[in-house]
Amino acid sequence: MTVHPQQPDPSHIYPVSDRNRLKRRHDRGSYDHASVHAILDASMLCHISYVIDGQPYCTPTLFWREGNRLYWHGSSASRMLRHLKAGTPACLTVAHLDGLVLARAGFNHSANYRSAMCFGTARIIDDPEEKAAALVAVVDRFYPGRSAGLRPITAQEIKATTVIGMEIEQASAKVRAKGVADDEEDYTLPIWAGVVPVTTVLGEVEPCPRLMDGVEVPVELGLYAAGNALDRSLTDAQRAYEEG
């Protein structure tokens, strides 16, 4: 009996068009929710591209995911956020560098990486309940349960913060995760080739010098123990947040 690999549920695949279809190296691409979300959830920093009056901008910012919806926030005085009041097309990208690939020819040098590109219409969140929930989520997504023990957010802080939401309309993931790919005749050359793995590793916590006596490191910070890989810790935090 022939066993065919299980295909993703069509409802769990982002629509594909010229906007998000990979133009080269189709073998490295995927469009299913699980692949895209895994890359997003392993990061807290993204870059958001948009156009204002014909001028392109790309803004780095922290973000988080709720299902198929992405959120980020910033100052109410931000030019980018003011422009998004009525909603505007945007592209949010995330990339992880996983390895330096050295080949026997310059042309075949490469890198191992994971990347995701998400398209949608970014809009300011005006609904008070959704905005309040988002301002809790920006903390609890990364440090599950932490908000409950913090000083409550003030009305002025809420007013000074703008929250943006974007439903992912289309997306693509692209991954390279392999070794050296030299031309066949080059493998006999006496030239070193290989992969240098790249990982962002967490260090020891540095307590605030004005910390009150007796205040211990919070439980939720256990996800970010020294020596852990950052992308793994962020993924575990997302899972814990979703599980409540």
Q: Per residue in 8-67, pLDDT tens? A: 577 799 999 888 888 777 778 899 999 999 999 999 999 999 888 888 989 999 999 999
What does the block give as tokens for 176? Answer: 């390279």
What proportion of the chain, given as a percentage, has pLDDT over 70?
A: 91
pLDDT 10s digits, 89-101: 999 999 999 999 9
| pTM score of the predicted model | 0.90
CA distances from 64 to 103, 131, 136, 228 (A): 37, 14, 11, 20
Q: What is the pLDDT of residue 8?
A: 59
- 153 CB neighbour count, 10 Å cutoff: 14
Q: What is the pLDDT of residue 4?
A: 46
Q: What is the pLDDT of residue 159?
A: 83
Q: What is the pLDDT of residue 2?
A: 44
What gap in Å lies between CA 128 and CA 69, rounded to an integer?
17
Please give the angle made by the CA atoms of 232, 139 and 95, to the nearest 5 degrees. 40
To the nearest 10°, the Cα dihedral for 125, 127, 131, 133?
-130
DSSP string, 40-68: HHT-SEEEEEEEETTEEEEEEEEEEEETT
Domain-located, residue 3: no
Q: Find out whether 226 and 202 touch, Cβ atoms under 8 Å.
A: yes
Residue 73 three-state SS: strand
| Of 53 and 237, the one with more pLDDT | 237
Domain-located, residue 37: yes
The pLDDT-based confidence of 3 (bands split at 50, 70, 90) is very low
Q: Find out whether 36 and 170 touch, Cβ atoms under 8 Å.
A: no
Domain-located, residue 68: yes
Domain-located, residue 111: yes
Q: Find out whether 241 and 141 touch, Cβ atoms under 8 Å.
A: yes
Stretch 134-145: mean pLDDT: 94
Looking up tokens 């042309």 gives: 107
What's the CATH code of the domain at 148? Answer: 2.30.110.10
Domain-located, residue 5: no
Domain-located, residue 2: no
Sign of CA dihedral 148, 149, 154, 158: negative
Query: Of how many residues is the chain composed?
Result: 244
Please check the confidence at residue 130 and state whether its pLDDT lies above 50: yes
Domain-located, residue 9: no
Q: Count of domains in the chain?
A: 1
pLDDT 10s digits, 56-104: 989 999 999 999 999 998 765 566 666 666 788 999 999 999 999 999 9
pLDDT 10s digits, 162-205: 899 999 999 999 999 999 999 999 999 999 999 999 999 999 99
Domain that holds residue 73: 15-182+191-243
